Chains A and B, each alone.
Chain A
């Protein structure tokens, strides 16, 4: 069995209690991955339950606005539950059923992964508990109601910074305690092996579809693909099928919050150092003594001090260019897409959109940019309302 490394990044840095569960998960995953019955079951769920393929939409108005490259949006926001997260939770719930697990746990930041997990747990009739930072519960109230409506229990996490990092700690502690009957659905390409690889494989459908769709529409591959990076699952999903296509430039956009210099950001690859958190070796926001520095971003889904190990690898080999966008840049992009295209994007995805401001006008009109619109922004409306009020006060 592979040890789950992307060169020096990845691995399994977890308590011994979890090793049998990770072995079992890896074994079942490797077995099912090429099993036609599993593949068909997942395919039909993705099609009929979630509504795939999601469209690749030519954003004509946004293209006109910037006056440069043609801009396409990969509409992951059109998935059932409103984000790409369900691609992964559908895959993992089938694995959980196969392993005979009775109970599902998950961590969530923005609540999108929590909703996607609660949804599939309801559909497949498994008990479900979602760990969510108390601060995020406040920020993302709508998603909390949704999870509860779906029959999941949302457990507020009050330790540490009360955000995604701490929700992940609590989920791991729960898993250590209940490992025999519980499957932990990690929501991103993070955690111990086999999660980073497995979640990427469940998310690569985004990139596979994009490749087919852009060839149909344009007869060629795009020049750029942009995606936001927190843990990095939507980015890995759209990037992965293009990694070997060297002519396609891949840009991951992290959240630089109030600015890298302010210290209040979540730009792990831009400003972090290599370390170990939540079971894998990757870039991390940490202080001189190796303590994890709390991340900050206006978007709860990017508010994470770590990043998937494969992203660290792609950074090291310089295959992906990692940039960052501030809260204010993301908010401006959020407004712009809503106004120009009638599409309200998630604040997470707005970080990727904001990079168009720098990139699109610099390119020729026959060049093509694809932006992964990883989720829709309903959940952020309250948050946005607060920002608007704050702006008025100034």
Chain B
């Protein structure tokens, strides 16, 4: 079983997203240690991009901070490579296709494999686009985590689940990341039931707009794992110093974990 799917064995994993290099790669390293110490099960690292069109303002700004600090995909991979022995949880890179295309699809798969990265999420690379990337990722045993949305047809669900590995990223509602204005997702239970029928054994991760413990309690019964990005970044950003930021991250995660346990 691959390292990502293993995290779904006998538990509902918490997946968190931070932007790589926000505000520096040193801070990203510290945050990774902090998050895994607090019990995060899978960590997504965002590849900063100038035009992140699937992201809301929080991740856009995080991306900008990372770029301002000079973060590149190359440096991000090198950083992960350097710290891989200290990282116990699976790491997943999430970013836009242009970053990968520019890096070289084969080189990307090779280098992230050497860095010990377990999976990749590319939100603007739908299943229909016959990118070479999928083959290269498969060659190196790296999971390609695909996304489905509430308006994805059954036919597309089949194609997407057939190609997705690690888990299936179920986007909770129509919108960008961090968009929580819809409150509780309408029809969530039916949506995930429909997906599960097609996905079979592939675990379902739910993300987009999960903004805190209260929301977690309302949705935790339906997916196999939950994914939080913008809300965590917002919490980190309220800190004025590095120490405060790390504390905030820890506190945020422990509150979420608590909510997950209480409901189960």
Contacts and interface: CB of A to CB of B under 8 A. Distances in A.
Interface in B143-202: 146-149, 151-153, 156, 160, 171, 174-176, 179
A259 interface: no
Contacts of B152: 16, 19-20
A336 B238 CA distance: 57
Interface of B, helix, strand, loop or mixed by DSSP: loop
A284 B101 CA distance: 12
A178 B175 CA distance: 7
A52 interface: no
A291 B67 contact: yes
Nearest to B48: A291
A13 B60 contact: no
Contacts of A63: none
B125 A290 contact: no
Contacts of A160: 50-51
A286 B73 CA distance: 14
A289 interface: yes
B221 to A, nearest CB: 24
A292 B174 CA distance: 26
B98 interface: yes
Nearest to B208: A17
A301 B72 CA distance: 30
Contacts of A166: 51
B97 A15 contact: no
Given A19-B152, A20-B153, A275 B98 contact: yes
Contact of A290 (B52, B56, B103, B148): B103
A292 B125 contact: no
B74 A289 contact: yes
Interface string B68-109: 000011100000000000000000000011110111000000
A173 B54 CA distance: 6
A172 B174 CA distance: 12
A334 to B, nearest CB: 31
A177 B99 contact: no
A275 B98 CA distance: 6
B262 to A, nearest CB: 31
A177 B101 contact: no
Contacts of B179: 177
18 contacts: A13-B124, A15-B124, A16-B123, A159-B60, A160-B50, A166-B51, A172-B53, A173-B176, A177-B176, A177-B179, A275-B101, A276-B98, A277-B98, A279-B124, A290-B49, A290-B103, A291-B50, A291-B67
Question: Ordered nearest first, which 3 A-B pairs have the shortest CB separation?
Answer: A290-B102, A289-B72, A177-B175
Given A14-B126, A15-B124, 18 more contacts: A13-B129, A14-B53, A15-B149, A16-B126, A16-B147, A16-B148, A16-B152, A16-B156, A169-B51, A173-B176, A275-B98, A275-B101, A278-B53, A289-B73, A289-B102, A290-B103, A291-B67, A292-B51
